[in-house]
Amino acid sequence: MNEIIKKNASELVDLMASGELSATEITKAHLDRIAEINGTINSYLHVTSEAALAVAADVDRRRAAGEKLPLLAGVPIAVKDNLTTTDAPTTSGSKILEGWIPQYDATVVTKLRNELMPILGKTNLDEFAMGSSTEFSAFGPSRNPWDIERIPGGSGGGSSSAVASYSAPLAIGSDTGGSIRFPAAVTGTVGHKPTYGAISRYGLIALASSLDQIGPVSRNVLDAALLQDVIAGHDPHDSTSLPESLGSMAEAARNGSVKGMRFGVIKQLSGEGFQPGVKKRFDETLALLTANGAEIVEVDCPSFEYAIAAYYLILPAEASSNLAKFDSVRFGMRVNPGENATIERVMAATREAGFGPEVKRRIILGTYALSSGSYDKYYGAAQKVRTLIQRDFEAAFAKADVLISPTAPTTAFKFGEKVDDPLAMYLNDVATIPANLAGTPGIAIPNGLADEDGLPSGVQLLAPARADARLYKVAAALEALHEAGWGKRMMDFAPELKVGA
């Protein structure tokens, strides 16, 4: 394996600054890696080699000319395929959008281009970001580099597997109920769901607009912080975008500390009933924090019990409305049902052929929840639960600076294990969904390997709205404590990927 691809983003920045590596060498090394393993691991749906190499060459030229460059210039990145790009297809993992090339770049993509970061390609996801395993992608699942018979998490399993398999140092994800954090947990990587509104959603193909949030995916906390600093900020194109800056995440990550911080263990998410190895590592982390000057307190969030139920009413309701625009007239695929083709029949035939089973399930559920007679009973009730969850968070943050829980109940499961059991699949997000319902930030970092299966487990830290920097400060410190204990980086435990197996 070419050692270049094992470097973190911050290391690549230094190696370019000192002249030891060029942006072209770095980009080529990653493209070679993709050519070598993507056939097996399916992280990328589209690889944009030429465009990436052109940006890299531009960076090298400018550097040689003595130009002052943006911090992450020349660091390659992967982008989830639910963000629009003018130079590559954007499918959102669905057949209904196959071949569609958008007319505009998502704001996040524009920011990456302005930073001169070579975009390696677009990563796989469950169709319209509905799922936890990538098994609902219309283009086949991505695989977990730790064990290619297992899921890399979802919906952002393309981004997590790309970063975990060294096919990209950084990636962009989106998190509606856990799609950045769950994949991070099961691949031993880092993912952050920022405060709602911290990063523009303009150009993100909406799943559930009141829950969706774009965020960074990386192999360490500092890299995620550096990337968030590039993509965050107010955007007039997104009416929910926060007007103010939340400060420098990189500065917070560089000043990591847990001393004197109060960590709230959520009674309902303390790991009870989770996979034993996940719970064991979690308890060890609590002890590690205490030993390093942090205080552990218990907080009670009784309404979290209803989070999944509320989420699976609010999300399908919003999704059914957001997906109504895929009607065969404006985007992508069109199916002609033959004779007597009316516009309604063309739409119906296209949606029947273009959407997969999970998308159809949620459209039906959402349309029902919004129908007159059901609206108050289901959608209205779910919105009330949402308020109760926000109040639980408020009460918890009166007692604790950050909250802590395992990111997910289990390590990566095998393909096929949950795909036919929607409820089992939905339970993966039991710990991540509350932050989406409340609009608050959450970061997932590796928490060691579970004893039973030797696979990565994750720990999640949660903070009040706008306190993203606090999360980076605490997560960076915890990461350093972990690595000191383990004696190496999390990814150094990963077995060598069996290519072609």
Q: Could you tell me the smallest distance in angstroms from the CB atom of residue 445 to ligand GLN? A: 18
Encoded one letter per residue, x for contact with ligand GLN by CB under 6 A and - for no contact, window 273-312 reads ----------------------------------------
What residues from 30 to 49 belong to the interface with ligand GLN (CB under 6 A)? none
For ligand GLN (CB under 6 A), the number of binding residues is 13
Catalytic residue among 80, 122, 193, 473: 80
With vertex at residue 105, the alpha carbon angle to CA 103 and CA 106, rounded to the nearest 5 degrees, is 130
Q: Could you tell me the smallest distance in angstroms from the CB atom of residue 203 to ligand GLN? A: 16
Q: Which of these segments, 35-43, 87-95, 172-180, 277-285, binds ligand GLN (CB under 6 A)?
A: 172-180
- CA-based nearest residue to 323, from 92, 154, 143: 92
Q: Does 135 interact with ligand GLN (rule: CB under 6 A)? A: no
Contact 237/199 with Cβ under 8 angstroms?
no
Q: In this complex, which beta carbon is closest to ligand GLN, that of residue 7 or of residue 193? A: 193
Say whether 28 is catalytic: no
Q: How far apart are CA 483 and CA 490, in angstroms?
A: 7
- CA-based nearest residue to 5, from 35, 28, 38: 28
Q: Could you tell me the smallest distance in angstroms from the CB atom of residue 129 to ligand GLN? A: 4
Residue for token pair 């420098």? 248
Tokens of 345: 């029949």
The dihedral formed by the CA atoms of 232, 469, 272 and 145, expressed in degrees to the nearest 10: 50
Q: In this complex, which beta carbon is closest to ligand GLN, that of residue 153 or of residue 332? A: 153
Q: In this complex, which beta carbon is closest to ligand GLN, that of residue 328 or of residue 411? A: 411
Say whether 414 is catalytic: no
Tokens of 194: 């920022």
Q: Does 131 interact with ligand GLN (rule: CB under 6 A)? A: yes
Q: How far apart are CA 188 and CA 101, in angstroms?
A: 33
Q: Does 429 interact with ligand GLN (rule: CB under 6 A)? A: yes
CB atoms within 10 A of CB 243: 6
Q: Does 175 interact with ligand GLN (rule: CB under 6 A)? A: yes
Catalytic residue among 10, 94, 179, 218: 179
Q: In this complex, which beta carbon is closest to ligand GLN, that of residue 82 or of residue 110? A: 82
Which of 34, 129, 217, 230: binder of ligand GLN (CB under 6 A)? 129
Say whether 155 is catalytic: yes
DSSP string, 348-387: HHHHHHHS-HHHHHHHHHHHHHHSTTTIIIIIIHHHHHHH
Q: Does 152 interact with ligand GLN (rule: CB under 6 A)? A: no
Whole-number Cα distances in Å, 469 to 38, 111, 260, 292: 34, 20, 16, 20
- Give all strands of the β-sheet with 295-299 in edge-to-edge order: 44-47, 119-123, 77-80, 170-174, 214-218, 190-193, 442-449, 456-462, 402-406, 262-266, 295-299
H or E element that contains 18: none
Catalytic residue among 43, 92, 132, 155: 155
Q: Which of these segments, 127-135, 254-262, 323-331, 450-458, binds ligand GLN (CB under 6 A)?
A: 127-135
Q: Which of these segments, 35-43, 124-132, 272-280, 462-470, binds ligand GLN (CB under 6 A)?
A: 124-132
What residues from 311 to 330 belong to the interface with ligand GLN (CB under 6 A)? 315
Q: How far apart are CA 445 and CA 407, in angstroms?
A: 8
Q: Which residues in this chain contact ligand GLN in the complex, by CB under 6 A?
A: 129-132, 155, 175-179, 207, 315, 429
Residues with catalytic function: 80, 155, 179
